Amino acid sequence: MPPKRGGGVRGRKKGEQDNPRTGTPTISASQASPIVDEKQQSSNMKQQFKIAPLIVEVESLTKVKISHLIKTHLPDVRVMNIQANRSNSFTLYANDVKSFNQLLVELPKVIQTNEKKCSSVYIPRSIQRIMENNKEAFVKMVDLEIMDEDIKEALDDQGFKYEKIIRLLNKEKIPTKTIKVTFIDSTNRDLFVKVGLQIDSMHFIAEAANHNNKPSQCYKCLKYGHIAKYCKSDTQICSRCGNINHKYDTCPNSNQNPMCCNCKGQHIATSPECPKYKEYQHKLQRTIDQYTSSAKTTNPFQLSRNWNNNDDFPTLKTPERFEEIKIIEIITEKIMLIVEQATQRLFKTLNQRFDILTNRLSKKFNIDIEEIFTEEEDDKQESRSNKKQTRNQQQEIKKSTKKHQEENIESTSTPTDGIKRKYISSNSSLDNPTNSTKDTRNQFDIEGNEAVAVQIETSFGHLLIASIYVPPNIKLHHELFEQIYDLNNDCLILGDLNASLQCMGSKKTNAKGLQLQQVLYEGYLQCIDNVITTYIRNNYEEKIDWILANQPTITFINNVETQAPFGLKEDHKPLTFNLNMSAELKPQSPRISFNFKLANWQFYRNKLNDLLSKIDQKKTITTVEQIETYVLALTECIATATKTAIPLTNGILKNFQISKTTKKLIECKHRAFRKWRRTNNDNDKKEYYNSRALLANALRNERIEKMNQIMSSLRENKMSSDKVWAAVRKFHNKRMKQSHTGELIYQNQIANTDYEKANLFASYFENEIFVEKPDHLPFHKQVRKKVEGIKRRLTRTDNKNKTPPITKKEIILTLKQLPNSSPGPDSIHNRCLKNYTPSLIQHLEKVFNSIIDIGYIPRIWKNANIILLLKPKKDPKQPSSYRPISLLSCIGKVLEKIIKQRMFKELNERNILPSHQAGFRPHRSTMYNIIRLERYAREQLQKRQHSAVIFFDIKAAFDTVWFDGIIYKLFDLRLPEYLICYIISFLDNRTASIEIENILSKSILLRSGTPQGSPLSPLLYIIYTSDSMNSIHQHTEHGLFADDTALWTTSNTITNLNYRLQSSINEFQKWCSSWKKKLEIEVEDVIIKPTSSARYLGVMFDHKLDWRTQVKHVETKVASRISLLRFLSKLNPNANLNTMLTLYKSLVRSVISYGSIILLTAKENIWKRLQTIQNKALKATLGLPMYTSTKYVHSISKIQEIKTYSTTLLEQSITRARIYNDKITENNLLKIQLYIKRSDI
């Protein structure tokens, strides 16, 4: 609360002293500012000033105690009043200057000596700010060419005494046209505001610094005089009804008249019409009036408007030399000097131009003047002159600002080979491009974004190559990319942008990354999308160097890779690539892509029925050839109906399309630029800059509009999942497709083009992965001989009467559950199958039953296109670093799903599958083995036993399944013969082609492995590895999740522990040799060393089970997602609360809560860290500042605390385990629940 009385402290002078404890200046009587107080004018006739109050902060002292200390130890001090403020704070009003200085210096020492307590005494910051503003003035519209030295010289000439002159900077740290002048006292400031600033012939109006008289209001309790940071209230008060625990937006009394909680009036509490608001505003204004001298600003031109009048000039209260010299003589002398300087500056450029023209005319009199201006020598001479002048201006500006960089002006557009091209730099040279490699060199920078460009001639035309450098503290400007693109639409841009963009391969996203993303969204440029890091320092690597190009130039770039850093500063790795300008354009995809948003499904179903009616459904299928013919006809009908009813996707890239109005503005800008460079007229120059500003605003508005369209789904009342996640994927690192930009190396062969890479991958998979391994054990020959007998037996057996037919109900249920996955080589989508007709169901039923009766799968269903996904943290040059994913026929996968369900039913009824195999099984998840391992380790830790766990990684687990081995095991399990016949045909004569950038490799024959992408592959692998743990040590436990294998055991001695673990490892190794599986590392030749922590199924286990490593892992993984939520909330201040909370639950809480059930046994500090993560995420999601109360955040979001939510998950897991009769999981979870209850007690 501002005091009722007080004085001010002026600027520091010679007589000032500093408080040794607080550094606050003391004042003398001659320096106190006079203030008129009408109420006490009579009682203060002798003392014409007031003293500023002092704030005393000290703990556990009362007002009476402070008064007693002052009277006892400072008897000479006279205090008018002592007021108690908020806790541990008091306001003292001294009666005179001597008492003020003595209190400021000696009172902290007195309190420290007598009360043994630390205290601070200082002048209120609000009054200090008022007095500081009282000495400041601002001058606007001061050109950047005017140096600080010129301003200081002008102030000295006018006789003003000032402390400092500062040119203000904008948000990008670039100098503006506003100058702030701080004077030594308010008298000089007031006179300066009246007179203004006069530099040569230019006059600038000065403005006094404004004082903010708006009182501060707490947004929590809505009281005046403090902010929420110092508020003692813990409840949120509604500004509409005055009740607590809800905000204005969610007020239940919104239909009633508002009620102010401060004055009880019928208005909201934040209204400026509130009497309390006006009362505090009046108090604050009275305080400002007490400590300021009001200087009324007058127009400086009024002083010189009537110079012809005989009236005397106003008397200026300036130094004595202005009183001794006649003011008219000074003004006259100054005007003469101004005219001379202005004339020289204005006509300097014209004289240079005239001299050049005169010399040229004398040498080449017979040449027209317009041709003279376009000759190369004249252009070079002009560019050198402009370059020198620009450099001098930049050097002068840098002396005063030290940060400013002047933007160069675009130069003349010159025709080249009949094509008009524009060049930016005023110092660019133009050579004849005929029969030459280099065409044009350009150097330019825009507000610190430096670039150099060269244009070369290729077989496809001219290509502009630009190199860009953006310093770390400079904004990345999209205008630079636009100007480079305007030079030549066929451009290649590369360089150090200091931008990291997570969705394009970087580890995180910074401010420049978002600015680069805006450039890419405009659509005229694309970047190389890879994960190659180009910057390394202190073991931290990041991608901050970029390669951008237009279409189709970007398709000619391949073999992007980095080299070893060189030079003294080894931080950036050189980035190399091949630019194959003779390459052909990217071919179309071998799989047809449809635009399902424009699909006419009713027309599709009618057309499909018409086509299917032509197939003779009454004809029986008894041979393999009839199956092939029937499936081909059925596929052709579906494909024809799809092409007829659903349009194809446009092959053109969906870039940012500008409007017709913006295109006209671009034409106007180009036209104005050419006119200005032709006439060199100032009006034409102004017209060009105006057109450029209009174009920039138009492009900015269209970018904002596009961003609003993308983010509009977050503001809808009802959440649309497809639209919301489509918007999130534009910023979230969901890499749907990977490009293969680097070279590949396999067996000393190097592949550069996409076709070479596809065939190299095909050779690798054919020779290394999908190859039948030789028999090296007698057991292998026994299995092979047994399988041959099985095939002969099944061929002779008639299974028609034993095969249960596939029903229409099974087919319809399977079709309804189909996902929208990618199609196979036949281009039949699951969306087309889900829009089935009764006729299609009948045909599918007929062909499916024929296939399982005969035991033959058509070839079209066994052919696959393989796409490749790079494994995490693997070398992209090696073919072994990629995981093959097979794209199979969707019709064939429908039958595979039905067969899978029947096999699962058979295996579960007979309890054949291993109990500890949790992968790809219904009602099982990764948490099954995670909980088992945690409970086992926790119990042994409590018993003070030694325990150890080892994890295995099987090399190409799915791709190296032995065909004869899986058939042998299926027959050994006594599965129905029609299922075995189907699997034999499923594995026999499978073919595949590698697909890279829409190019297919040669077809290869798959001699081993189950295709990744087939519904049957996981189940076949589980069956294949079902006996892998039958021979391990009896005291060793195991856990399986598909191909993730773990063994753990315990003992009271290290020796016995090693023996048990080693014997189990040996048995597992024997099994792998028997069934032709290979571990990633041969355990026989490697000594396995223990580690303090290891990751198993996404959870970090440490040797003490204190879960600190797991929490750190969660913090690292969640950091980028929290940044994404904060970015989305800032872009959408009015986003739907439920939509944003859904994103939080999907992106953040799912990561925090994964494995949190086993963390319930952890210490409280672990949960505090997890709760901190959730608090940050919720505040980022809701767009709230970090200092917002956690209780308030949870109350409005209705999100449980993370430990409470994990306890709820525990109870749900126990219920689910009971429903599905999972006794092992139920017992382990009950132990965790019992441990929690005991800990609470």
Cα angle 117, 120, 125 (rounded to 5 degrees) comes to 160
CB burial readout 965-995, b (16+ within 10 A) else e: bbbbbbbebebbbbbbbbbbbbbeebebbbb
Least confident interval from 120-129, 249-258, 316-325: 316-325
pLDDT on residue 835: 92
The number of CA neighbours under 13 Å toward the Cβ of 122 is 15
The percentage of the chain sitting over the pLDDT mark of 90, rounded to a whole number, equals 24
Residue 959 has pLDDT above 60, yes or no: yes
Whose structure tokens read 């070839």? 859
Paired strand residues for 493 = 466, 548
pLDDT on residue 22: 38
pLDDT, one tens digit per residue, over 889-911 is 999 999 999 999 999 999 988 88
pLDDT on residue 527: 84
Mean pLDDT, residues 76-84: 83
Residue 1206 has pLDDT above 90, yes or no: yes
> Residue 714: pLDDT band by 50, 70, 90 thresholds?
confident
What's the start-to-end Cα distance of the chain, in Å? 49
pLDDT on residue 374: 41
Report the distance separating Cα 725 and Cα 160, nearest Å: 63
Residue 128: what residue type? Q
Residue 208 has pLDDT above 60, yes or no: yes
> Residue 132: pLDDT band by 50, 70, 90 thresholds?
low
Cis peptide bond prior to 552, omega within 30° of 0: yes
Q: Decide if domain 29-126 falls under CATH 3.30.70.330.
A: yes
Paired strand residues for 1045 = 952, 1040
Paired strand residues for 136 = 182
Q: Which is more confidently placed, 341 or 1217?
A: 1217
- Let me know: does 150 contact 83? Beta carbons within 8 Å: no
> Residue 1023: pLDDT band by 50, 70, 90 thresholds?
very high
Range with the largest mean pLDDT of 7-11, 333-337, 384-388, 1103-1107:
1103-1107
Residue 49 has pLDDT above 50, yes or no: no
Report the distance separating Cα 749 and Cα 752, nearest Å: 10
Query: What's phi and psi for 493, nearest 5 deg?
Result: -120, 130
pLDDT on residue 595: 84
Q: Which is more confidently placed, 36 or 187?
A: 187
Question: Does the global pTM surpass 0.75?
Answer: no
Task: Name the H helices within 438-547.
Answer: 478-487, 511-521
Residue 166 has pLDDT above 80, yes or no: yes
Residue 33 has pLDDT above 50, yes or no: no
Range with the largest mean pLDDT of 3-12, 705-714, 926-935:
926-935
Paired strand residues for 745 = 750
Q: Which is more confidently placed, 1146 or 382?
A: 1146
Report the distance separating Cα 1213 and Cα 927, nearest Å: 10
> Residue 1166: pLDDT band by 50, 70, 90 thresholds?
very high
pLDDT on residue 1137: 87
> Residue 267: pLDDT band by 50, 70, 90 thresholds?
confident
> Residue 253: pLDDT band by 50, 70, 90 thresholds?
confident
The chain-wide mean pLDDT, for the chain, equals: 77
> Residue 369: pLDDT band by 50, 70, 90 thresholds?
very low
DSSP per-residue letters across 393-444: HHHHHHHHHSS--PPP-----EEETTEEE----TT-EE---TT-SEEEEEEE
Residue 99 has pLDDT above 70, yes or no: yes
Mean pLDDT, residues 415-423: 33
Q: What is the CA 417 to chain-centroid distance, rounded?
A: 44
Residue 737 has pLDDT above 80, yes or no: no
- Let me know: does 274 contact 260? Beta carbons within 8 Å: yes
Domains 29-126 and 417-579 share a fold: no
pLDDT on residue 319: 40
Q: Which is more confidently placed, 60 or 1179?
A: 1179
pLDDT on residue 937: 92
Torsion over CA: 1176, 1180, 1181, 1185 (sign): positive
> Residue 54: pLDDT band by 50, 70, 90 thresholds?
confident
Residue 367 has pLDDT above 70, yes or no: no
- Let me know: does 825 contact 889? Beta carbons within 8 Å: yes
> Residue 130: pLDDT band by 50, 70, 90 thresholds?
low
| Nearest Cα residue to 224 out of 282, 173, 170, 185 | 282
pLDDT, one tens digit per residue, over 508-534 is 888 888 888 878 776 678 888 777 888
pLDDT on residue 317: 38
| Nearest Cα residue to 637 out of 611, 672, 618 | 611
Other C-beta atoms within 10 Å of 829: how many? 24
pLDDT, one tens digit per residue, over 774-783 is 888 999 999 9
Mean pLDDT, residues 358-385: 48
Least confident interval from 47-56, 209-218, 263-272, 522-531: 47-56
Residue 847 has pLDDT above 90, yes or no: yes
Query: What's phi and psi for 428, nearest 5 deg?
Result: -85, 145
> Residue 1212: pLDDT band by 50, 70, 90 thresholds?
very high
Q: Which two tokens stand for residue 2?
A: 């501002």
The number of CA neighbours under 13 Å toward the Cβ of 1134 is 6
Q: Which two tokens stand for residue 550?
A: 């237009």
pLDDT, one tens digit per residue, over 651-690 is 544 455 678 888 888 888 888 888 888 888 888 888 888 8
pLDDT, one tens digit per residue, over 1123-1163 is 888 888 888 888 888 888 989 999 999 999 999 999 998 99
The number of CA neighbours under 13 Å toward the Cβ of 1183 is 12
Cα angle 1201, 1207, 1212 (rounded to 5 degrees) comes to 125
Range with the largest mean pLDDT of 68-77, 577-586, 785-794:
785-794
pLDDT on residue 875: 83
pLDDT, one tens digit per residue, over 966-985 is 999 999 999 999 999 999 99
Q: Decide if domain 918-961+1009-1095 falls under CATH 3.30.70.
A: yes
Residue 635 has pLDDT above 90, yes or no: yes
Task: Name the H helices within 943-1033.
Answer: 963-972, 977-987, 1017-1024
Architecture category of domain 135-208 in CATH: 2-Layer Sandwich (3.30)
pLDDT, one tens digit per residue, over 453-493 is 888 887 777 888 999 988 888 888 878 888 888 778 788 99
Least confident interval from 164-178, 285-299, 1047-1061, 1155-1169: 285-299
Report the distance separating Cα 533 and Cα 519, nearest Å: 21
Residue 437 has pLDDT above 70, yes or no: no
Query: What fold is seen in the domain 417-579?
Result: Deoxyribonuclease I; Chain A (3.60.10)
pLDDT on residue 352: 58
Q: What is the CA 666 to chain-centroid distance, rounded?
A: 31
The number of CA neighbours under 13 Å toward the Cβ of 567 is 8
Mean pLDDT, residues 713-738: 69
pLDDT on residue 344: 62
Residue 1191: what residue type? K
- Let me know: does 615 contact 843? Beta carbons within 8 Å: yes
Domain edges within the chain: 29-126, 135-208, 211-305, 321-399, 417-579, 660-729, 918-961+1009-1095, 1106-1240
DSSP per-residue letters across 638-681: HHHHHHHHSPBPPSS----PPPHHHHHHHHHHHHHHHHHHHH--
Mean pLDDT, residues 912-923: 87
